[in-house]
């Protein structure tokens, strides 16, 4: 069997098709010669996908990124990357090649990426397909913050409920505390700054297999498949700490803000709306408990994960 695997990897190394595998933390674990050459990766390197994209963008090589703000593009892309079982899209490289890339997810969070060179396709039809891909991206993206929107997030809740290990999935509803007062006092432009700051702070702690998005106003959700309610509480608690420490307004260095969260675990018979409703009720309890804390669905005060 070892000889068979050696033969397969030998074929992978020599094929012009780009092949790579990422683990559940989005760290590159395997890349064949064609992939390493296209993305400037040394044979012994295992970079995170985000770091790989960032360094190539700064060097003007690898994937051509059509965005004025790279970090906003990265955040938006990560909101969709690895969130569904299979994804296919087209992308262009600085060396002039045009690739058809597929991403296939495994239940354990590993991702297989395969890309084929389709440069020979007519440029006119390529432009039409690129416009189509941009339209699809826009339909799943919150315009202000760049993360997933309600449509994409609700679909990921349905996906989680259909998984074989759905009993280990959780949903968190996050809501910025006193947001109306912030808008009333400082204006909607500052309110938008707070929403974007919140997105950046929270997104930096979101796992690759989880999905974070804005569902409206100052309310966000975090879909956590394969996660127990105790694990979910620890994840959101870290987010509470990071947001609590944020000082997003340069002109008001003492200004800070917080958020509250409700968390519910998947139950037999749940649909997206029932799970969302229970997490939303837990959020209401967190608000009633004084805000700046977490409440778990169906738990008493001794079991809640309130912040200190």
Residues with catalytic function: 218
State the Cα–Cα distance between residues 155 and 292, nearest whole angstrom. Answer: 28
State the Cα–Cα distance between residues 102 and 86, nearest whole angstrom. Answer: 7
**CB burial of residue 164 (10 Å; 0-12, 13-18, 19+):** exposed
CB within 8 A of 156, min separation 6: which ones? 83, 84, 148, 211, 223
Residue 178 has phi, psi (to 5 degrees) of 60, 35
**CB burial of residue 267 (10 Å; 0-12, 13-18, 19+):** middle
Strands in 125-275 per DSSP E? 170-176, 211-216, 219-224, 259-265
CB within 8 A of 183, min separation 6: which ones? 190, 191
Partners of 105 in the β-ladder: 111
Nearest to 218 by CA among 176, 187, 159, 262: 176
CB within 8 A of 102, min separation 6: which ones? 86, 87, 88, 113, 114, 115
The tokens 């360094």 sit on which residue? 55
State the Cα–Cα distance between residues 191 and 277, nearest whole angstrom. Answer: 26
CB within 8 A of 247, min separation 6: which ones? 253, 254, 255, 256
């Amino acid at each position: 069997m070892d000889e068979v695997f050696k033969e397969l990897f030998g074929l992978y190394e020599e094929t012009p098709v780009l092949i790579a595998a990422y683990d559940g933390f989005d760290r590159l674990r395997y890349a064949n010669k064609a992939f390493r050459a296209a993305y400037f990766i040394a044979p012994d390197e295992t970079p995170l996908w985000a770091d790989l994209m960032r360094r190539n963008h700064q060097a003007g090589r690898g994937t051509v990124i059509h965005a004025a703000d790279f970090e906003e593009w990265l955040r938006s892309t990560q909101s969709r990357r690895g969130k569904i079982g299979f994804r296919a899209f087209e992308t262009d490289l600085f060396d002039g090649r045009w690739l058809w890339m597929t991403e296939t997810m495994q239940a354990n969070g590993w991702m297989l990426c395969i890309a084929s060179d389709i440069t020979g396709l007519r440029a006119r039809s390529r432009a039409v397909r690129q416009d189509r891909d941009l339209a699809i991206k826009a339909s799943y993206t919150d315009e202000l913050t760049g993360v997933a929107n309600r449509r994409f997030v609700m679909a990921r809740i349905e996906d989680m409920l259909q998984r074989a290990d759905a009993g280990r999935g959780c949903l968190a509803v996050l809501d910025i505390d006193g947001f109306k007062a912030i808008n009333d006092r400082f204006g909607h432009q500052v309110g938008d700054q707070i929403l974007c700051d919140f997105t950046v702070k929270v997104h930096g702690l979101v796992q690759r297999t989880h999905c974070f998005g804005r569902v409206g106003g100052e309310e966000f959700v975090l879909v956590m498949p394969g996660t127990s309610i105790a694990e979910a509480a620890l994840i959101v608690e870290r987010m509470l700490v990071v947001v609590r420490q944020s000082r997003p307004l340069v002109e008001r260095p003492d200004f800070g803000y917080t958020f509250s969260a409700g968390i519910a675990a998947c139950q037999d018979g749940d649909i997206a709306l029932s799970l969302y409703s229970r997490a939303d009720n837990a959020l209401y309890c967190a608000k009633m408990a004084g805000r700046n804390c977490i409440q778990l669905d169906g738990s008493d005060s001794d079991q809640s994960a309130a912040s200190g």
